[in-house]
Amino acid sequence: MAVYTEVPPEELEAFLTCYGLGPALTFKGIAEGVENSNFLLETPQGRYILTLYEKRVARDDLPFFLGLMEHLASRGIACPTPLHAEDGAILHELAGRPAAMVTFLEGLWPRRIHPFHCQELGTHLARLHLAGGDFPLSRPNNLSVTGWRPLYEACRSRADEVVPGLALELGNELAFLEAHWPQDLPAGVIHADLFPDNVFFREEKLTGLIDFYFACNDFYAYDLAICLNAWCFEPDGAFNATKARLLLAAYRNVRPFSGAELDALPLLARGASLRFHLTRLYDWLNHPEGAFVQPKDPREYLDKLRFHQQVRGPGAYGLD
């Protein structure tokens, strides 16, 4: 359940008045999500999502995230559009937290991934990358290679409680990635967390991309590597090369990638595996007793990492 902060009704009413909206016909906390408190709001003017930003989202990053959504939406990307209040600002305060309202997107995220989902995703990811090309703000990826060692060090002493020998295995992988991480692939704004629960579909068409709160500037192909991991493994852990081929082929129909990007994919996929393994491992080892958000299993991403360590070239992802 991701409602960390409750909103008193009188504060909500005053907040909505600032947007020229109101009154709330319904106002419900949304159980899904991890980072922030989200509410579905119905008003006579339509449906909106109200988000209160919790501790893990830095306030200074909010202009980047909200500005990016506005920029992408204005270029036809199916993402939430932030609402401006009557004072012109997007970001306000509610119940003691930074707060914003965005448009509601139709569709549902897929609980079971079919090949057509991967194909649609590839097309829309490439469009997102192109549309972000002239976004004027930038934000470094603090969860790229330089961010992994502090996370590793924070987990190291207890990692073997999760998998015997894990601290050594991760230490070796980290050293390898630090030594070989690419320097100069094509880069720009990436989503950086485009998991199935952040992508909505209706019938077989993609209708929405949400949750831009890890978006940053990094290699475009790293975003693809994140998606390969999140969309192209079956629940039993097997890699599905057909899904990967559809994802990558649809992407390159819109934004062709260079030979260097293609060659780097196995390494980027290892890095993307380590990134999500480490954040999950940290949360697994540090979540408070009785917390209402269940931490995700870090072992899933260890298995993905081990798969990519065996890959010898992009052919394993269904490409030539």
Ligand X SMILES: N[C@@H](CCOP(=O)(O)O)C(=O)O
Ligand Y SMILES: Nc1ncnc2c1ncn2[C@@H]1O[C@H](COP(=O)(O)OP(=O)(O)O)[C@@H](O)[C@H]1O
Kindly state the smallest distance separating residue 208's Cβ from ligand X, in Å: 14
Query: How many amino acids of this chain bind ligand Y (CB under 6 A)?
Result: 18
The interface region with ligand Y, picked from 63-71, 86-94, 210-218, 309-317 by CB under 6 A, is 210-218
Kindly state the smallest distance separating residue 34's Cβ from ligand Y, in Å: 4
- Interface mask toward ligand X for 28-47; x: CB under 6 A: -----xxx------------
Nearest CA-CA partner of 268 in 144, 138, 169: 144
With binding defined as CB under 6 A, does residue 102 bind ligand Y? yes
Residue 3, both tokens: 């409602």
With binding defined as CB under 6 A, does residue 33 bind ligand Y? yes
Contact residues for 47 (Cβ-Cβ < 8 A; gap 6+): 40, 41, 104
With binding defined as CB under 6 A, does residue 264 bind ligand Y? no
With binding defined as CB under 6 A, does residue 197 bind ligand Y? yes
Give the Å distances, CA to CA, from 194 to 6, 128, 289.
Answer: 28, 11, 29
Residue 169, both tokens: 């295995």
Contact residues for 154 (Cβ-Cβ < 8 A; gap 6+): 282
Dihedral angle sign, alpha carbons of residues 295, 296, 298, 299: positive
Which of ligand Y, ligand X, none interacts with 236 (beta carbon under 5 to 8 A by kind)? none
Backbone angles phi, psi at 233, to 5 degrees: -105, 140
Among 12, 49, 125, 232, binds ligand Y (CB under 6 A): 49
Nearest CA-CA partner of 121 in 195, 222, 186, 188: 195
Which of ligand Y, ligand X, none interacts with 36 (beta carbon under 5 to 8 A by kind)? ligand Y
Which residues make up the interface to ligand Y (CB under 6 A)? 2, 30, 32-36, 38, 49, 80, 102, 104-105, 197-198, 210-211, 213
Which residues make up the interface to ligand X (CB under 6 A)? 33-35, 193, 195, 197-198, 211, 276, 279-280, 296
